[in-house]
């Protein structure tokens, strides 16, 4: 990632000339980090690295990591830093991350942030992380989380209150039965918010202090929020 002059997909957002580098999306559970990651993947043609998704894949496959993570995740607590960092290290060594990647759900603790910063500063050609926090108020979040339904086949995300499928409980794209994540209940949501406030707020302060932090309003249409994130990242990369 030595050059800032890397272009993006032809025909789309051609005005974005910079290599985005590592971008961290921050925000409480339900602010739309997953949705925005997918938008940014399309805009920049870089991968989304979601530790929640990677951990869920480990749980589904019954790997040793998945066996440890399953109970911790079901309680809404955080998986230990060392396990998550090792998993991320493997993912970031894949060649598709060279121009950058969207970090969704990682780093979530100061320890993870320091580990990532140290790793990147040991790679002279790597850009540093810039962090963008998506802001949404508590009641909105609760509706988003408890209303969220996911297609297990296409991974399309619905919300029974604001973005329901045409037929209740069924994916519009492929007809698969929609599922609710086990941790998308009100009780687990409260624990996840508590964990976010206690452990992830210091990550916000860390990047704010370093001058590599911006906030965007997450209570707007998806494409508008995505444009806001792009503008914020471009601004941070220029400074
Ligand atoms: P998410 O899909 O990002 O909401 O993550 C779901 C769950 O996976 C969290 O509630 C944690 O239990 C676990 N998890 C995801 N990312 C991390 C992380 N960076 N550190 C620790 N635990 C994580």
In the chain, the domains with their CATH numbers are 1-47+94-137+195-239 (3.40.50.300), 148-183 (no CATH)
Percent of the chain whose predicted confidence (pLDDT) is above 70:
92
Are the beta carbons of 130 and 23 closer than 8 angstroms? yes
For the chain, report the end-to-end CA distance as a whole number of angstroms: 17
Which position among 108, 144, 149, 212 bears the catalytic label?
Answer: 108
Average pLDDT in the 185-192 region?
90
Asked whether the predicted pLDDT for residue 93 surpasses 50, the reply is: yes
Residue-level pLDDT at 12: 46
Sequence-ordered list of residues with C-beta below 8 angstroms from that of 92, at least 6 positions apart, any chain: 49, 101, 119
Average pLDDT in the 186-215 region?
91
Alpha carbon nearest to ligand 1 atom 19, residue = 106
Structure tokens at 184: 């998308």
Among 14-18, 152-156, 174-178, 216-220, which stretch is predicted with the lowest mean pLDDT?
A: 14-18
Residue-level pLDDT at 60: 96
pLDDT band at 13 (very low <50, low <70, confident <90, very high): very low
**70 labelled catalytic:** no
Distance 60 CA to ligand 1 centre (A): 15
**99 labelled catalytic:** no
Percent of the chain whose predicted confidence (pLDDT) is above 90:
77
Q: Please state whether beta strands 100-104 and 21-26 pair in parallel, antiparallel, or not at all (unpaired).
A: parallel
**Buried (b) or exposed (e) across 212-228, using 16+ Cβ within 10 A?**
bbbbbebeeeeeebbbb
Residue-level pLDDT at 18: 66
Residue-level pLDDT at 201: 86
Asked whether the predicted pLDDT for residue 70 surpasses 70, the reply is: yes
Distance 228 CA to ligand 1 centre (A): 25
**238 labelled catalytic:** no
Residue-level pLDDT at 2: 35
Residue 76 Cβ inside 6 Å of ligand 1? The answer reads yes
Asked whether the predicted pLDDT for residue 111 surpasses 60, the reply is: yes
Residue-level pLDDT at 17: 56
Average pLDDT in the 174-201 region?
91
Asked whether the predicted pLDDT for residue 235 surpasses 70, the reply is: yes
Question: Dihedral sign, CA of 24, 30, 32, 37?
Answer: positive
| DSSP collapsed to 3 states, the chain | CCCCCCCCCCCCCCCCCCCCEEEEEECCCCCCHHHHHHHHHHHHCCCEEEHHHHHHHHHHHCCHHHHHHHHHHHCCCCCCHHHHHHHHHHHHCCHHHCCEEEEECCCCCHHHHHHHHHHHHCCCCCCCCEEEEEECCHHHHHHHHHHEEECCCCCCEEECCCECCCCCCECCCCCCECECCCCCCHHHHHHHHHHHHHHHHHHHHHHHHCCCEEEEECCCCHHHHHHHHHHHHHHHHHC
Asked whether the predicted pLDDT for residue 8 surpasses 70, the reply is: no
Structure tokens at 196: 């976010």
Distance 64 CA to ligand 1 centre (A): 17
Average pLDDT in the 103-115 region?
95
Q: Which of 26, 35, 30, 52 is nearest to 129 (CA)?
A: 26
Q: How far apart are CA 75 and CA 71, in angstroms?
A: 6
Atom of ligand 1 nearest to the CA of 33: 3
Asked whether the predicted pLDDT for residue 15 surpasses 60, the reply is: no
pLDDT band at 7 (very low <50, low <70, confident <90, very high): very low
Q: How far apart are CA 81 and CA 7, in angstroms?
A: 34
Average pLDDT in the 114-139 region?
94
Among 12-16, 42-46, 126-130, which stretch is predicted with the lowest mean pLDDT?
A: 12-16
């Amino acid at each position: 990632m030595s050059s800032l002059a890397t272009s993006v997909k032809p025909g789309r957002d051609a005005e974005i000339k910079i290599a985005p580098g590592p971008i961290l999306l921050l925000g409480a559970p339900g602010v739309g980090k997953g949705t925005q990651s997918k938008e940014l993947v399309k805009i920049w043609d870089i991968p989304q690295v979601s530790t929640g998704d990677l951990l869920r894949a480990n749980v589904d496959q019954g790997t040793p990591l998945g066996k440890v993570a399953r109970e911790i995740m079901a309680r809404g607590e955080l998986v230990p830093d060392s396990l998550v960092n090792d998993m991320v290290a493997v993912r970031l060594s894949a060649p598709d991350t060279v121009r950058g990647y969207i970090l969704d759900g990682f780093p979530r603790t100061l320890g993870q942030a320091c580990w990532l910063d140290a790793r990147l500063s040991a790679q002279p050609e790597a850009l540093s992380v810039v962090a963008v926090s998506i802001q949404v108020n508590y009641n909105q979040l609760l509706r988003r989380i408890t209303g969220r339904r996911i297609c297990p086949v296409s991974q399309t995300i619905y919300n029974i209150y604001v973005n329901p499928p045409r037929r209740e409980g069924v994916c519009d794209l492929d007809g698969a039965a929609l599922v609710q994540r086990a941790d998308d209940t009100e009780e687990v949501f409260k624990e996840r918010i508590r964990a976010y406030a206690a452990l992830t707020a210091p990550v916000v302060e860390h990047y704010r202090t370093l001058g590599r932090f911006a906030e965007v309003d997450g209570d707007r249409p998806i494409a508008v929020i995505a444009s806001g994130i792009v503008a914020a990242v471009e601004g941070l990369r220029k400074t």
